[in-house]
């Protein structure tokens, strides 16, 4: 699959996500109204796993786990993130690309444990940590009154700097893939 239209972006993805830069160019989602859905992201990861001959380790979560997390947090999750959790899931992305914090609240490394590990003096106080890019940044949602805000923020764990990387979760998925994967490219990648 090295000739796949997604291959260059999959290979590039091993470095810092393109959405990291504060002054990054707007993604096609902003320019053309397209976003990366959870289903498209899963297909993207499946292509990557096939290209790299690695196993896809993400597992979808049950709604009961989401309800348990919401009960612990006492605040609603963004709906796009809930859809992602039940469609794609949590765990390590194939090939060590990143880690989606799991929802098993009784096990180390959960989304709740990682979020509670953010210092109270941090500008990200109260952030729900959802993703670790393995480069010193964690990504997550900041709290609102009744639910977490839809924007995704990055917290640099070395400098304690916080900045917005996406207006919503699907835009975040879009920037993780390089911002230019669409249904046609995914279809082409699976065409012999």
31-81 pLDDT per residue, tens: 445 578 999 889 888 888 888 888 888 999 999 999 999 999 999 999 999
Tell me the pLDDT tens digit for each residue of 103-162: 988 888 889 999 999 988 889 999 999 999 888 899 999 999 999 999 999 999 889 999
Give the DSSP letter of residue 59.
B
Whether the CB-CB separation of 139 and 129 falls below 8 Å is answered with: yes
Contacts of 29 (CB under 8 A, 6+ apart): 35, 36, 170, 171, 174, 179
Residue 19 pLDDT exceeds 70: no
When mean pLDDT is compared over 4-13, 37-46, 170-179, the highest value belongs to 37-46
Whether the CB-CB separation of 49 and 139 falls below 8 Å is answered with: no
Q: Which CATH architecture has domain 28-189?
A: 3-Layer(aba) Sandwich (3.40)
Whether the CB-CB separation of 155 and 114 falls below 8 Å is answered with: no
Note the pLDDT of residue 188.
45
By the 10 Å C-beta count (0-12 exposed, 13-18 middle, 19+ buried), 46 is classed as middle
Give, rounded to a whole angstrom, the gap between the first and last alpha carbons of the chain. 10
DSSP states of 120-177 as a string? TTSTTTT-EEEEE-SSSEEEEE-B-SSBB-S-EEEEETTT--EEEEESSHHHHHHHHT
Kindly state the average pLDDT of the residues 25-34.
Answer: 44
Helix (H, G, I), strand (E, B) or coil at 186: helix
User: How far apart (Å, rounded) are the C-alpha atoms in residues 67 and 153?
Assistant: 23
Each domain of the chain, given as residue ranges in start order, spans: 28-189
Kindly state the average pLDDT of the residues 78-103.
Answer: 90
Q: Tally Cβ neighbours within 10 Å of residue 103.
A: 20
Kindly state the average pLDDT of the residues 81-104.
Answer: 89
Distance of alpha carbon 77 from the chain centroid:
14
């Amino acid at each position: 699959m090295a000739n796949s239209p997604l291959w260059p972006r999959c290979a590039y993805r091993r470095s810092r996500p393109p959405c990291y830069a504060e002054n990054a160019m707007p993604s096609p989602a902003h320019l053309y109204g397209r976003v990366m859905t959870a289903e498209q992201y899963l297909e993207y990861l499946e292509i990557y796993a096939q290209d790299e001959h690695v196993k896809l380790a993400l597992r979808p979560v049950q709604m009961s786990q989401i309800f348990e997390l919401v009960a612990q947090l006492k605040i609603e999750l963004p709906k796009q993130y809930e859809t992602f959790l039940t469609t794609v899931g949590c765990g390590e992305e194939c090939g060590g690309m990143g880690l989606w914090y799991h929802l098993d609240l009784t096990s180390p490394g959960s989304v709740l444990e990682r979020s509670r590990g953010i210092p109270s003096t941090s500008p990200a106080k109260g952030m729900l940590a959802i993703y670790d890019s393995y480069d010193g940044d964690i990504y997550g949602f900041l709290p609102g009154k009744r639910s977490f805000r839809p924007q995704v923020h990055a917290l640099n764990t070395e400098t304690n700097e916080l900045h917005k990387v996406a207006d919503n979760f699907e835009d975040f998925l879009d920037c993780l893939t390089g911002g230019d994967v669409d249904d046609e490219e995914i279809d082409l990648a699976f065409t012999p």
